[in-house]
Amino acid sequence: MSGKAEVVVAGHICLDIIPTMDEKQTSIAELLSPGKLVNIGPAVISTGGAVSNTGIALHRLGSKVKLMGKIGADPFGEAILTLLRQQEASLVEGMIISREGNSSYSIVISPPNMDRMFLHSTGTNDTYAASDLKQEHLQGAKLFHFGYPPLMKRMFENEGGELLSLLKKVKESELTVSLDLAKPDPESDAGRANWRAILTKSLPFVDVFLPSFEEIVYMLDRERYDLMEKASPDGDLLSYVDVELLAQLSAELIQMGVAIVVIKLGEHGVYVRTTSDEKRLAQMGFCSPKQDLLDDWLNCEMISSCYEVDVVGTTGAGDCTIAGFLFGLTRGLTLKESLQSAVGVGACNVEQADATSGIPEMAVVQDRMYRGWKKRATKLKLVNWHLHEDQIWIGPHHKSPKEGVEANEAK
């Protein structure tokens, strides 16, 4: 690397091909009707996956980042490297080029005001192994983020043995470890994997766990997930977001060993819950909250709704939301400030069709927030939750609300 990176982002990377679309289509099913010709606009070509989306977002926000994805020696792989170099030449220095297998790619169907759909080839991501990560790659870094193990065969086969080896190796270097998921095709090998067993083994070595609502329900409560999907013909499981379920899931994840649980809720915003164990926070590595901030991070439960924006596309929204949260963590911000950063960066993402071009420096995001950027009204039933003056909801599992909290219950 040209300089020491503070954040290493590893895991899944691909090439995204995103056709531009107008608002005439009413559903994904209509778009994909057999025999139908659908007129579309020029394609946006960008890198995708956690390595690219979260990594470039962090870079654009102002972090020093090393990307460690695995690609093939093929035209798609060269396109990925070219696009990364356009962001910053040094970003490609940690990339792994395999002479075997094809680079991963996705065709992203993302109509305006609709959730997106992916046609995806996992490619060389399937061969990513713990041996691809060397200890020298981690020197000087404070945080290691790993994304999308459900789309990486070596990471989920044999009940996640390779993922466990990878995370153990990182924790030996005392870095803070964060982990993101992706929901696999239920009919695939990844979809049939025992994710409860995989997470039980792996999460003791994860400090910050950042799944989406759908992903974590799928992996911890498949029976509930199947019932939700059956009752939702349009596939929108976000209508089933429930704060009691979020509390149940987050408590279980913290019991598994995680210090901070961040659950992405799509249009509903972001939920966060933290451990009540001060010793566990101190074991987070280089990004452990400093002593004067322990009270800000310990035993908290919060939700922030999304900021108001005109949505152009949702590709990479969750990854950029993660980047906003991790940026706050690495900069020593409070939990509330990190949560605000998460939803702020996520909002900037959806103002563009691709994953990262809408992300400015963090100072620009913060300026929008400080100038009174409004948030969307929550649609969640937040009984016994309280609205803080900075537009963050404080949950019943949070330590006693402090001064500045309005004792207003959501009806």
Query: Residue 353: is its pLDDT beyond 90?
Result: no
What is the pLDDT at residue 76?
96
Residue 295 lies in a domain: yes
User: What's the pLDDT tens digit per position in 290-306?
Assistant: 999 999 999 999 999 99
Query: Residue 244: is its pLDDT beyond 90?
Result: yes
Which is nearest to 145 in space by CA: 58, 250, 215? Answer: 58
Residue 107 lies in a domain: no
Q: Please list, in sequence order, all residues whose beta carbon lies within 8 angstroms of the beta carbon of residue 10, skipping any fewer than 6 positions away.
A: 51, 67, 68, 69, 133, 144, 145, 146, 147
For 262, the domain range is 7-12+49-72+125-406
Residue 155 lies in a domain: yes
The pLDDT confidence band at residue 201, using thresholds 50, 70 and 90, is: very high
Nearest 10 degrees: Cα torsion 63, 340, 267, 7: 20
The model carries a pTM of 0.91
Each residue of 288-311: b (16+ CB within 10 Å) or e?
A: bbeeeeeebbbbbbbbbbbbebee
Q: Please list, in sequence order, all residues whose beta carbon lies within 8 angstroms of the beta carbon of residue 247, skipping any fewer than 6 positions away.
A: 273, 301, 395, 396, 397
> Which of the two residues, 230 and 406, has the higher pLDDT score?
230
Residue 17 lies in a domain: no
Residue 354 lies in a domain: yes
Percent of residues, the chain, with pLDDT higher than 90: 79
User: Mean of the pLDDT values across residues 261-266?
Assistant: 98
What does the alpha-carbon distance between residue 301 and residue 305 come to, in Å, rounded to a whole number?
14
The pLDDT confidence band at residue 401, using thresholds 50, 70 and 90, is: very low
Query: Residue 78: is its pLDDT beyond 90?
Result: yes
Residue 243 lies in a domain: yes
Q: Other C-beta atoms within 10 Å of 381: how many?
A: 12
The pLDDT confidence band at residue 21, using thresholds 50, 70 and 90, is: confident
Q: Which amino acid is at 321?
A: T
What does the alpha-carbon distance between residue 100 and residue 387 come to, in Å, rounded to a whole number?
54
Query: Residue 403: is its pLDDT beyond 50?
Result: no
Reading the block at residue 307, the tokens are 């900021």
Task: Tell me what the pLDDT averaged over the chain comes to.
Answer: 92
User: Mean of the pLDDT values across residues 162-187?
Assistant: 96
What does the alpha-carbon distance between residue 93 and residue 85 come to, in Å, rounded to a whole number?
10
Q: Name the least confident of 22-36, 330-344, 358-372, 389-403.
A: 22-36
Residue 356 lies in a domain: yes
The pLDDT confidence band at residue 247, using thresholds 50, 70 and 90, is: very high
What is the pLDDT at residue 111?
79
User: What's the pLDDT tens digit per position in 204-214?
Assistant: 999 999 999 99
Q: How far is CA 290 from the centre of its chain?
A: 24
> Which of the two residues, 291 and 1, has the higher pLDDT score?
291
Residue 137 lies in a domain: yes
Which is nearest to 329 in space by CA: 376, 274, 404, 373? Answer: 274
What is the pLDDT at residue 145?
98
What would the DSSP string read from start to end of 187-205? TSHHHHS-HHHHHHHHGGG
Number of domains in the chain: 1
What is the pLDDT at residue 25?
60
CATH of the domain at 310: 3.40.1190.20
User: Mean of the pLDDT values across residues 241-259?
Assistant: 97
DSSP 3-state assignment of 37?
A: coil
What is the pLDDT at residue 23?
67
The pLDDT confidence band at residue 408, using thresholds 50, 70 and 90, is: very low
Residues in the chain, total: 411
